[in-house]
Amino acid sequence: MALIKYFLFQWALLASVAFSVPATGTQYALQAEAGGAGSRGQQQPATQRKLRGRFLHITDLHPDEYYKAHTSTEADTACHRGRGPAGAYGAETSDCDSPLALVNATLDWISANLIDSIDFVVWTGDSARHDSDEEIPRHNKDILAMNRRTADAFQDTFSDEKGLVVPVVPTFGNNDIYPHNILMPGPNDILKTYTDIWRSFIPEAQRHSFEFGGWFYTEVIPGKLAVFSLNTMYFFDRNAGIDDCVHPSEPGYKHFEWLRVQLQSMRTRGMKAILMGHVPPARTSAKQLWDETCWQKYTLWLEKFRDVVVGSLYGHMNIDHFLLQDTKEIDLAIVEGLRKKNVVSRETMDDDISIQSSTDYLKELRDDWARLPDPTILEQDVEEAGKKKHKKKKGKKGKKKLGGPWAERYQLTLISPSIVPNYFPTLRVIEYNITGLEDAPSWVDTMRALDALSNRPAPEPELHELELRQEPSFEIGKRKKKKGKKPKHPNLPIPNAPEKGAPPGPAYAPQPLTFTGFTQYYANLTYINNDITTESMENDEMSLSGWNPGKHKDKTPKHKKPQPKKFAFEVEYSTFDDKIYKLKDLTVKSFVDLAHRIGKASAKSKALVKDDPESNKEASEQELESADALEDSESEEGEDGLEHNDDDDELDSELEVERKKKHKGHKKKKKKHGKGRKTWLHFLNHAFVSTRSKQELEGMG
Ligand SMILES: *[C@@H]1O[C@H](CO)[C@@H](O)[C@H](O)[C@H]1NC(C)=O
Ligand SMILES: *[C@@H]1O[C@H](CO)[C@@H](O)[C@H](O)[C@H]1NC(C)=O
Ligand SMILES: *[C@@H]1O[C@H](CO)[C@@H](O)[C@H](O)[C@H]1NC(C)=O
């Protein structure tokens, strides 16, 4: 099979070279040429599309066919009725859903500005409205119809006359199903319907397995890079249709088995994988979104496949932020089903996230980050090793705390904010390293060459069936309620770790496919809707909890009929030149460093404040390269890095050191929170997509 595939790719490459025509920029325009469909099947030259090293992440569109401009943004009317400030392209900063005009304008803008510069699209779900108007309740039929309509619009946007040009990888959101949040184990009608709605996005060979579990992957760079669409409904704590990820009968268990087999296959084929889903593995010391057993398994899987996974992309939260999973929190007893819950019990996060609960959540993340080791100790270590200074021991310890020179103790989850204008509508374009892949055959060329052969490979054997036959026949207990006997030797297939001596993966060390940065685009609806006078903007006040009617709730639009300006996205910020984030790439280590700096704004870290790492940062920048060359400390970490340290002890002794320093008068007096505060406010400003004034952000804590 692999050989045949290899042959086909080679053939595709040759074919595209042999029949190539010069690519033109207009080739991918929206409108179909007359007779375009008729030419299908004739010997058509392949497009020979080149890789651009960029892709689009779009999420949470929430189109609402009942949205009407100049209606009320208040609860219960939800921009459907009454008179109020709802704008033509959406009611920014409110909890109203998106007008169809916004979805349409967004896709048109992408079509005009992005299509030629992106390689694929990651689309992380929620393409139906919320159930926020009692007068117009949601129905299954409408939810599916809106999803079909949106999927068709995506299909049109990313196609030429012969079909899809840019592969689109969709996934479910918790609002794409009815009743919301509840998805029963497959196969079922919902999964069957989505198999059809997304027929042009799900590879033919995987449609059957999609009906079974709602998961699939697309080789967005054939033979090199795949995007894995995870069905996070089976991990989601609020899904009453499932229990956990440890019982073999659970769809979450099967999902992880599928993922284990597929990622192993990626490793064997020398491929890398991007993971994506709707509900992220958000988990603070107080709250979480996934069932704990699923979080545990996910973190363990990512740890084992740290050589394969390039990055993890999610939506759902509507706020721009990121997460760091700590592999030291993996508890095998939970993964094996020997223990149900962690010692810390966390609440399930609220479904509709108000600005107040978002702020609380972000503060919890910040406080958790206050405990992160300082990655600059890696650089100090090198510096000191060179100068043979006495502090060497501390550097070593720091390196160990990070899980080696690449901070492999941690995993990064990137969460993009939404199109639905709870803040401003926003899009993310991520750039990745394509060194050495410049001439790799693109998805469209490969697919069309295969099509032209009209000899598609037979569907691959159903992996889930093969796998499940090997499953142990026992069940660990049965459902939650029946507290059964605990098996002594639970059959837990744990993924293989990277081969000994394998180099760090693209999420950890810069190399081909590593994410190098992203640009966040936003549409300033206050400007575009052109309804609110700037003078009246001054006394904006926000509602902190419950339904949010938005900044303009008491205002009257200045025009009788909406007179919006031309719709456009503009750059909100870019990690390539953000002077405060200072992310030289999107590797885990870069984000551990950022999170560490944000954590400094936490009261919890105040006692830990040392000489500002910013000041030795510049000097140590040059040392980074040599720090990277440090011998791999993985062996120290233990083969699988699962060994548990008591971090608190380490933290305490560090505190002790700091206190002693203070007494000696070595510590400079600093402004309360210092630079950490600046980084935190910058992060908060991005979280709310630049909709909040400086004073508002300051007031949040
Ligand atoms: C948006 O609407 C315009 C006008 O109705 C239409 O011409 C265009 O094709 C639509 N775009 C998309 C992406 O549906
Ligand atoms: C991309 O990867 C190549 C090969 O590993 C490396 O030389 C180059 O520096 C990387 N580029 C960036 C921008 O990280
Ligand atoms: C958005 O537009 C409004 C009205 O023109 C302006 O006052 C505001 O500063 C803009 N916000 C951003 C973040 O550009």
pLDDT tens, residue by residue, 437-447: 999 999 999 99
**pLDDT for 303 beyond 70:** yes
- For ligand 3, say whether the CB of 527 is within 6 Å of any of its atoms: yes
More confident residue, 666 or 524: 524
The radius of gyration of the chain's CA atoms, rounded to the nearest angstrom, is 26
- Name the residue at shortest CA distance from atom 10 of ligand 1: 104
Q: How far is the centre of ligand 3, averaged over its atoms, from the C-alpha of 121 (Å)?
A: 28
3-state secondary structure of 324: strand
Question: Ligand 2, from 435, 576, 584: best to mutate by most atoms within 8 Å of Cβ?
Answer: 435
pLDDT, tens only, 545-557: 688 999 898 899 9
Q: Where are the alpha helices (DSSP H) in 422-500?
A: 443-452, 463-469
β 515-522/426-432 pair status: antiparallel
- Average pLDDT over every residue of 181-191: 95
Q: How far is the centre of ligand 1, averaged over its atoms, from the C-alpha of 113 (Å)?
A: 15
> Structural domain boundaries of the chain?
2-356+410-519
Sole residue written with tokens 């069940």: 475
Q: What is the pLDDT of residue 336?
A: 87
Q: How far is the centre of ligand 1, averaged over its atoms, from the C-alpha of 32 (Å)?
A: 13
Q: What is the pLDDT of residue 220?
A: 98
- Average pLDDT over every residue of 574-582: 98
Is the separation of the CB atoms in 151 and 201 below 8 Å?
A: yes
Q: How far is the centre of ligand 3, averaged over its atoms, from the C-alpha of 364 (Å)?
A: 29
Report the C-alpha gap between 458 and 342 in whole angstroms: 45
Q: What sign has the CA pseudo-torsion 188, 191, 194, 198?
A: negative
Is the separation of the CB atoms in 245 and 493 below 8 Å?
A: no
Report the C-alpha gap between 50 and 37 in whole angstroms: 24
Report the C-alpha gap between 94 and 129 in whole angstroms: 14
* Closest ligand 2 atom, residue 436 Cα: 4
pLDDT, tens only, 144-153: 999 999 999 9
HSE at residue 701, side-chain half, CA atoms within 13 A, is 14
Exposed, middle or buried, 685 (CB in 10 Å: 0-12/13-18/19+)?
A: buried
Q: Element (H or E) spanning 620, and its range?
A: helix 613-621
* Closest ligand 1 atom, residue 157 Cα: 13
Q: How far is the centre of ligand 2, averaged over its atoms, from the C-alpha of 624 (Å)?
A: 15
Ligand 2 contacts (CB < 6 A) are: 433, 435, 510-512, 516, 585
Q: What is the pLDDT of residue 46?
A: 54
pLDDT band of 400, cuts 50, 70, 90: confident
Q: Which residues are CB-neighbours of 143 under 8 A, at least 6 positions away?
A: 128, 175, 176, 177, 178
Report the C-alpha gap between 585 and 416 in whole angstroms: 17
- Average pLDDT over every residue of 429-450: 95
User: The whole model's pTM is what?
Assistant: 0.82
Cα-to-chain-centroid distance, residue 635: 31
Token couple for 166 = 């840019």
Token couple for 500 = 């000994």
Closest to 585 in 3D by CA, of 328, 457, 453, 412: 412
Q: How far is the centre of ligand 3, averaged over its atoms, from the C-alpha of 429 (Å)?
A: 22
β 272-277/426-432 pair status: unpaired
- Average pLDDT over every residue of 149-159: 98
Q: How far is the centre of ligand 1, averaged over its atoms, from the C-alpha of 109 (Å)?
A: 11
- For ligand 3, say whether the CB of 150 is within 6 Å of any of its atoms: no
Q: How far apart are the first and last CA of the chain?
A: 58
Considering every ligand atom, which ligand is closest to the CA of 431? 2
Q: What is the pLDDT of residue 31?
A: 30
Question: Ligand 3, from 423, 527, 533, 690: best to mutate by most atoms within 8 Å of Cβ?
Answer: 527
Q: What is the pLDDT of residue 218?
A: 98
pLDDT, tens only, 121-143: 999 999 999 999 999 999 999 99
- Average pLDDT over every residue of 68-83: 96
Residue percentage of the chain with pLDDT more than 70: 72
* Closest ligand 3 atom, residue 691 Cα: 13
Between CA 344 and CA 352, with CA 350 as vertex, the angle to 5 degrees is 160
Closest to 279 in 3D by CA, of 239, 337, 240: 239
Phi-psi domain of 403 (left: phi exceeds 0; alpha: psi -120 through 50; beta: other) = left
Question: Ligand 1, from 108, 159, 566: best to mutate by most atoms within 8 Å of Cβ?
Answer: 108
- For ligand 3, say whether the CB of 426 is within 6 Å of any of its atoms: no
Considering every ligand atom, which ligand is closest to the CA of 153? 1
pLDDT band of 234, cuts 50, 70, 90: very high
Sole residue written with tokens 């500002």: 612
Exposed, middle or buried, 431 (CB in 10 Å: 0-12/13-18/19+)?
A: buried
Token couple for 9 = 């790719």
Report the C-alpha gap between 74 and 2 in whole angstroms: 57
Q: Which of 190-199, 494-503, 572-581, 663-672 has the lowest mean pLDDT?
A: 663-672
* Closest ligand 1 atom, residue 105 Cα: 1
**pLDDT for 684 beyond 50:** yes
- For ligand 3, say whether the CB of 534 is within 6 Å of any of its atoms: yes
β 272-277/309-314 pair status: parallel
Q: What is the pLDDT of residue 651?
A: 43
Token couple for 120 = 């694929």
- DSSP tag of 537: G
- Name the residue at shortest CA distance from atom 13 of ligand 3: 690
Q: How far is the centre of ligand 3, averaged over its atoms, from the C-alpha of 553 (Å)?
A: 17
Produce one character per residue of 80-90: b if its CB has 16 or more CB atoms within 10 Å, e if not.
Answer: bbeebbbbbbb
**pLDDT for 486 beyond 90:** no
Is the separation of the CB atoms in 376 and 620 below 8 Å?
A: yes
Residue 418 is which amino acid? S
- For ligand 3, say whether the CB of 548 is within 6 Å of any of its atoms: no
Q: What is the pLDDT of residue 43?
A: 47
**pLDDT for 467 beyond 70:** no
Instruction: Look over the chain and give the mean of its residue pLDDT values, rounded to a whole number.
Output: 81
Q: How far is the centre of ligand 3, averaged over its atoms, from the C-alpha of 423 (Å)?
A: 12
- Average pLDDT over every residue of 18-44: 35
- Facing residues of 620 across strands? none
Report the C-alpha gap between 373 and 557 in whole angstroms: 51
pLDDT band of 492, cuts 50, 70, 90: confident
Q: Which of 87-96, 373-382, 547-556, 611-620 has the lowest mean pLDDT?
A: 611-620
- Name the residue at shortest CA distance from atom 11 of ligand 2: 433
Q: How far is the centre of ligand 3, averaged over its atoms, from the C-alpha of 446 (Å)?
A: 44
Between CA 281 and CA 285, with CA 282 as vertex, the angle to 5 degrees is 130
Report the C-alpha gap between 641 and 330 in whole angstroms: 10
Question: Ligand 2, from 225, 430, 433: best to mutate by most atoms within 8 Å of Cβ?
Answer: 433
Closest to 304 in 3D by CA, of 264, 352, 249, 254: 264
Is the separation of the CB atoms in 567 and 109 below 8 Å?
A: yes
**pLDDT for 476 beyond 70:** no
* Closest ligand 3 atom, residue 424 Cα: 13
**pLDDT for 495 beyond 90:** yes
Q: How far is the centre of ligand 1, averaged over its atoms, from the C-alpha of 111 (Å)?
A: 11
pLDDT band of 398, cuts 50, 70, 90: low
Token couple for 454 = 């009209």
Closest to 64 in 3D by CA, of 179, 150, 140: 150
Is the separation of the CB atoms in 521 and 429 below 8 Å?
A: yes
Other C-beta atoms lying within 10 Å of the C-beta of residue 305 = 25
Q: Which residues are CB-neighbours of 327 under 8 A, at least 6 positions away?
A: 299, 300, 303, 403, 408, 409, 410, 411, 641, 642
Considering every ligand atom, which ligand is closest to the CA of 436? 2
Is the separation of the CB atoms in 685 and 692 below 8 Å?
A: yes
Q: What is the pLDDT of residue 460?
A: 54
Q: How far is the centre of ligand 2, averaged over its atoms, from the C-alpha of 434 (Å)?
A: 8
CATH code of 2-356+410-519, in short, is 3.60.21.10
Q: How far is the centre of ligand 2, averaged over its atoms, from the C-alpha of 433 (Å)?
A: 6
Q: How far is the centre of ligand 2, averaged over its atoms, from the C-alpha of 375 (Å)?
A: 21
Q: What is the pLDDT of residue 620?
A: 38
- Average pLDDT over every residue of 603-614: 55
**pLDDT for 224 beyond 90:** yes
**pLDDT for 386 beyond 60:** no
pLDDT band of 452, cuts 50, 70, 90: confident
Is the separation of the CB atoms in 316 and 174 below 8 Å?
A: yes
Angle between helices 292-304 and 251-268 (to 10 degrees): 10
**pLDDT for 403 beyond 90:** yes
**pLDDT for 626 beyond 60:** no
Report the C-alpha gap between 286 and 42 in whole angstroms: 60
- Name the residue at shortest CA distance from atom 5 of ligand 1: 104
Q: What is the pLDDT of residue 387?
A: 56
Closest to 106 in 3D by CA, of 568, 574, 688: 568
pLDDT band of 645, cuts 50, 70, 90: very low
β 121-123/216-221 pair status: unpaired
Report the C-alpha gap between 612 and 367 in whole angstroms: 18
**pLDDT for 12 beyond 90:** no
Q: What is the pLDDT of residue 629?
A: 33
**pLDDT for 690 beyond 50:** yes
Report the C-alpha gap between 660 and 637 in whole angstroms: 30
Residue 660 is which amino acid? K
* Closest ligand 2 atom, residue 433 Cα: 1
Q: What is the pLDDT of residue 283?
A: 95
Q: How far is the centre of ligand 3, averaged over its atoms, from the C-alpha of 528 (Å)?
A: 9
Q: What is the pLDDT of residue 45?
A: 52
Question: Ligand 1, from 58, 89, 100, 104: best to mutate by most atoms within 8 Å of Cβ?
Answer: 104
- Average pLDDT over every residue of 291-312: 97
Q: How far is the centre of ligand 3, averaged over its atoms, from the C-alpha of 128 (Å)?
A: 28
pLDDT band of 357, cuts 50, 70, 90: confident
pLDDT band of 664, cuts 50, 70, 90: very low
Ligand 1 contacts (CB < 6 A) are: 104, 107-108, 153, 156-157
Q: What is the pLDDT of residue 604?
A: 73
Q: Which residues are CB-neighbours of 74 under 8 A, at least 6 positions away?
A: 82, 84, 547, 549, 553
Exposed, middle or buried, 601 (CB in 10 Å: 0-12/13-18/19+)?
A: buried
- Name the residue at shortest CA distance from atom 7 of ligand 3: 534
More confident residue, 396 or 628: 396
